[in-house]
Structure 1
Amino acid sequence: MRLPRLLVLTDRTQCAGPLVETVAAAVAAGARAVLLREKDLPAAARESLAASLSGILSPVGGTLLVAGTAHLAARDPFPAMRPPVLGRSCHDAAEVAAARAEGCDYVTVSPVFPTASKPGYGPALGPAGLGALVADAPPVFALGGIRPTDVRACRAAGAYGVAVMGGVMRDPGSVADYVDALEEAKP
Structure 2
Amino acid sequence: MKIPRLLLITDRHLTPNLTATIAQAVAGGVDAILLREKDLDDPALTLLAQTIQNTIAPSSAQLLISARPRVARAIGAAGVHLPRDGLPIPAVRALLGPSRIIGRSCHDLASARHAFAEGADFITLSPLFPTRTHPDTPPLGLASFASMVRNLNGPVLALGGITADNVHLAMTAGAHGIALIRGIIDQDNPARHAEKISSSIKYFISG
Q: What TM-score does the superposition give when structure 2 sets the normalisation length?
A: 0.84
Q: CA RMSD in A?
A: 1.4
Aligned 1:77-156 pairs, distance under 5 A: 77-78=87-88, 80-82=91-93, 83=96, 84-120=100-136, 122-135=137-150, 136-156=152-172
Structure 1 partner of 2:74: none
After superposition, what is the alpha-carbon deviation per residue over 1:55-90, rounded to whole angstroms, capped at 9, x for unaligned?
122211210000013110000121524131100000
5+ residue gaps in structure 1?
none
Residue 167 of structure 2 aligns to a residue in which SS?
helix
Residue 105 of structure 2 aligns to a residue in which SS?
strand
Q: Distance in 1 between matches of 2:20 and 2:134?
A: 24
Amino acid at match of 1:51: Q
Structure 1 partner of 2:198: 179
After superposition, what is the alpha-carbon deviation per residue over 1:100-144, rounded to whole angstroms, capped at 9, x for unaligned?
111100000110000111245x31112111112212142010000
Asked if 1:65 corresponds to 2:80, the answer is no
Structure 2 contact 3–121 (Cα < 8 Å) conserved: no
Residue 166 of structure 1 aligns to a residue in which SS?
coil
The offset of 1:7, in angstroms, is 0.6
Structure 1 contact 10–34 (Cα < 8 Å) conserved: yes
Amino acid at match of 1:179: S
Deviates more, 1:107-116 or 1:130-139: 130-139
Q: Distance in 2 between matches of 1:86 and 1:30?
A: 21
Residue 64 of structure 2 aligns to a residue in which SS?
strand
The offset of 1:38, in angstroms, is 0.2
Q: Distance in 1 between matches of 2:27 and 2:175?
A: 25
Structure 1 partner of 2:52: 53
After superposition, what is the alpha-carbon deviation per residue over 1:144-182, rounded to whole angstroms, capped at 9, x for unaligned?
000122222111111100111112111222111111111
Structure 2 contact 32–61 (Cα < 8 Å) conserved: yes
Structure 2 contact 6–29 (Cα < 8 Å) conserved: no
Residue 152 of structure 1 aligns to a residue in which SS?
helix
Q: Distance in 1 between matches of 2:32 and 2:202?
A: 16
Q: Percent identity?
A: 39
Structure 1 partner of 2:5: 5
Q: Distance in 2 between matches of 1:150 and 1:11?
A: 22
Structure 1 partner of 2:85: 75
Q: What TM-score does the superposition give when structure 1 sets the normalisation length?
A: 0.93
Number of residue-to-residue matches in the alignment? 185
Aligned partner (choices 177, 195, 198) of residue 161 of structure 1: 177
The offset of 1:6, in angstroms, is 0.6
